[in-house]
Structure 1
Amino acid sequence: MNSEKVLGYQPGNTFIHHLNATTKLIFLLLVSIACMVTYDTRFLAVICVFSLACLKLANIKWQQISFIVKFILAFAIINILAVFIFQPTYGQNLYESKNILLKAGYFTVTKEELFYLLNLILKYICSVPLVLLFLLTTNPSQFASSLNKIGISYKISYAVSLALRYIPTIQTDYWAISAAQQARGNELSKKASLGKRIKGTLNIVMPLIFSSIDRIDIISTAMQLRRFGSKKKRTWYVYKPFKPADYAVTLLAVVIVVIVIILWQLNGGRFYNPFR
């Protein structure tokens, strides 16, 4: 199977790859929270451009993220449509004005509603690239050691490391089982109908669950044999200390949060209203 189809850590030599894993997690959490809190379109647009530029800087290829991006895009479209269908007047109530673009009774389209939906789309574009950057540029072992060094239990840190390592393993198993199913004559490619592909995907889930349980049992047994957890502390072979670049990126995340707080004060709340 092509390794570029697997969403997991991809070694690299870029600036983002060299950052401490904890730095990347702090940046991801702070910026994501800032983007979730605010509805200032100007701020969200800037973060969108910044997030996409970071993907380019990290040399992330489209083949590596195409599957998950398409899945998130489909989910985002469903979410946007659901928001509009259930409350198409939310935008005009929120911005306290009404500029009609298309009059259609209950589903009347206003500039305010479209502007609100635009903000929701921008939130997805802000957050998704940052999450993908974290997954694709973070060595799970380095991340675990960094978490432990800042005071988190090494047992929890190691559990997080195993979870990150297991993401590409699940994907590899999925594609392997899918290939085996297709070798038996079960068409799961784009040539098959949607219903047939959904049914085929469900047939993959059960073998995937059983293989995952079996692997968990093997890993648990191996850890017990090595007396994992018997000591209060442990050493890390791949620990990566903080460098000036890590402090600079952490400071940037704090500055972004401060900017959101300032915008909150200037806008008189979470929302930027261009219709005043």
Structure 2
Amino acid sequence: MKIKLFSYNQLDTFVHKLSGLTKLVCFLLLTTTVMLTYDIRIILAILIFSYFLMNKAQIKFKQVKTMFIYVGIFLITNFILTFLFSPTYGCEIYGTKHVLFPIFGRYEVTLEQLFYQCTKFLKYLSVIPLGMIFFLTTNPSEFASSLNHIKVNYKVCTSLSLTLRYFPDVQRDYHTISLAQQARGLEMSSKAKLINRIKNVVTILTPLIFTTMDRIELITNAMELRGFGKGKKRSWYSFKPLQTKDWISMFICLLIFLFMLYIRIFVNKSMFYNPFI
């Protein structure tokens, strides 16, 4: 089955069977764990765990390779810019300096800088799969109903549900408009110059924006005609109650988060793991 980016697909996997609330809590706990530490040991563990979950959710690399390409370009650019603007930041953090080889002026490659930038690289790389798992395995309606059952206002829940549903619609419209423009002679392949491709993308975005505005107006009118927002409560068709596997999953993620706090406060006594001391 071909999975589109940001599009939910119902599969018979352990991850898909979890409640939307469970996946949100686990996502927030794991991403917060990664963001609050620069301990490469913890980050690597979560990186391996996140790709393990992707495999369990039957999300193949070829199905999300476009996202990985964009993320890879961003990470490489960030890696280079970090070195250009702060070539010795790693040395300042770890308090030591092991020069591998000089380049020119203040630019020299140090072991500390490489270690810091690799840790930062892995931080981003470990969070991306978690986001993909959440988007690709969470039913928007079920997710909204789960939030509503923990007393989140149903208007907010419905807005989140519509937002999650809207991503694949925009992606499909962009693809349709792109094919229509290419049929009229618009060049979008690598044969065209970069500046021309940017201009061509703008010609696609213009009708996409108008299509988006039309859909928003259509949905708004439909909700008003059905009296949305008049009552204090609403019923949900796709509510999924929390089960034992949901509580166990959240407990495991909470343990990972608490373990990170313990390592940061009592072992490293800093958010950075220093292997140079």
Using structure 1 for the length normalisation, give the TM-score.
Answer: 0.97
Match of 2:39 in 1: 40
Match of 1:12 in 2: 11
User: What percentage of residue pairs aligned between the two structures are identical?
Assistant: 43
Residue 267 of structure 2 corresponds to residue 272 of structure 1: no
Conserved? CA contact 2:140–2:165, under 8 Å: yes
Output aligned runs, 1:159-178, within 5 Å: 159-178=159-178
Q: Which residue identity lines up with residue 88 of structure 1 in the other structure?
A: P
SS at match of 2:100: strand
Q: Which residue identity lines up with residue 28 of structure 2 in the other structure?
A: L
Match of 1:84 in 2: 83
Residue 147 of structure 2 corresponds to residue 155 of structure 1: no
Q: Which residue identity lines up with residue 55 of structure 1 in the other structure?
A: M
What's the CA shift string for 1:65-118, capped at 9, x where partnerless? 111221121112111211111111100000000001121222211010010011
Tell me how far apart the structure 1 counterparts of residues 90 and 269 of structure 2 sit (CA, whole Å): 17
Q: Which residue identity lines up with residue 207 of structure 2 in the other structure?
A: P
Tell me how far apart the structure 2 counterparts of residues 87 and 9 of structure 1 sit (CA, whole Å): 41
When the two chains are superposed, the root-mean-square deviation of aligned CA atoms in Å is: 1.2
Q: Which residue identity lines up with residue 32 of structure 2 in the other structure?
A: I
Conserved? CA contact 1:4–1:63, under 8 Å: no
Tell me how far apart the structure 2 counterparts of residues 150 and 229 of structure 1 sit (CA, whole Å): 19
Using structure 2 for the length normalisation, give the TM-score.
Answer: 0.97
Tell me how far apart the structure 1 counterparts of residues 251 and 186 of structure 2 sit (CA, whole Å): 53
| Structure 1 unaligned blocks of 5 or more | none
| Structure 2 unaligned blocks of 5 or more | none
Match of 1:237 in 2: 237
Tell me how far apart the structure 2 counterparts of residues 222 and 15 of structure 1 sit (CA, whole Å): 35
Output aligned runs, 1:1-276, within 5 Å: 4-104=3-103, 105-264=105-264, 265-276=266-277
Conserved? CA contact 2:5–2:136, under 8 Å: no
Deviation beyond 6 Å, 4+ runs, structure 1: none
Tell me how far apart the structure 2 counterparts of residues 249 and 185 of structure 1 sit (CA, whole Å): 51
Tell me how far apart the structure 2 counterparts of residues 56 and 157 of structure 1 sit (CA, whole Å): 29
